[in-house]
């Protein structure tokens, strides 16, 4: 069985960092994804889905808080988790969240360059920076364009 989600969208708000007593932290933010289609009458319909994102490791959460900003474009890989809780009136409520295993900032605006930077929870949870490689390969690819 597989529980894997891949999303590309824009942040609805800056990440909020929450610290815990065991020296751990998580980052939480909303992410908007869009799709468009034509309805039966042939009119274009645009639909936005909002996703609750959690980045569960302290190092990545701190990076997300520092670099991800409202409106920024980001690539998220993770898994879906649904949990329930009782509200103040005793009604059972459900919330679906995306627990991010890794993310990649897709906007080049933060440093004036193109490319992207990737962060992953895999293995040791180490940071995987591909920014310089992406900038080099992007500029090389531009040279090959016929126009």
Enter the DSSP assignment of 90. S
What does the pLDDT read at residue 22? Answer: 86
What does the pLDDT read at residue 119? Answer: 59
pLDDT tens-digit profile of 89-125? 999 999 999 999 999 999 865 544 445 555 566 544 3
Give the angle 123-53-88 at the CA atoms, nearest 5°.
Answer: 125
What does the pLDDT read at residue 41? Answer: 94
- Decide: helix, strand or coil at residue 13: coil
Helix or strand (DSSP H, E) at 79: strand 73-86
What does the pLDDT read at residue 21? Answer: 84
- Decide: helix, strand or coil at residue 130: coil
As to burial, measured by CB atoms within 10 angstroms (0-12 exposed, 13-18 middle, 19+ buried), residue 118 is middle
pLDDT tens-digit profile of 75-86? 999 999 999 999
Q: In whole angstroms, what is the distance from residue 115 CA to residue 131 CA?
A: 6
Average pLDDT over residues 48-69: 95
- Mean confidence (pLDDT) of the chain: 81
CB 12 within 8 A of CB 32: yes
CB 9 within 8 A of CB 80: no
What does the pLDDT read at residue 113? Answer: 45
Which structural domains are found in the chain, ordered by start?
A: 5-143 (2.40.50.140)
This model's pTM is above 0.75? no
């Amino acid at each position: 069985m597989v529980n894997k989600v891949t999303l590309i969208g824009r942040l609805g708000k800056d990440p909020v960092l929450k610290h815990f007593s065991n020296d751990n932290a998580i980052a939480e933010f909303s992410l908007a994804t869009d799709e468009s289609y034509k309805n039966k009458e042939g009119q274009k319909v645009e639909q936005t889905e909002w996703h609750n994102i959690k980045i569960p490791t302290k190092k990545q959460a701190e990076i997300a808080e520092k670099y991800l900003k409202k409106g920024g474009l980001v690539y998220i890989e993770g898994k879906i988790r649904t949990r329930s809780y009782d509200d103040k009136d005793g009604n059972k409520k459900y919330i679906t969240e995306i627990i991010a295993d890794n993310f990649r900032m897709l906007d080049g605006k933060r440093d004036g360059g193109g490319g992207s930077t990737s962060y992953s929870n895999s293995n040791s949870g180490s940071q995987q920076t591909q920014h310089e490689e992406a900038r080099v390969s992007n500029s090389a690819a531009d040279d090959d364009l016929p126009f």
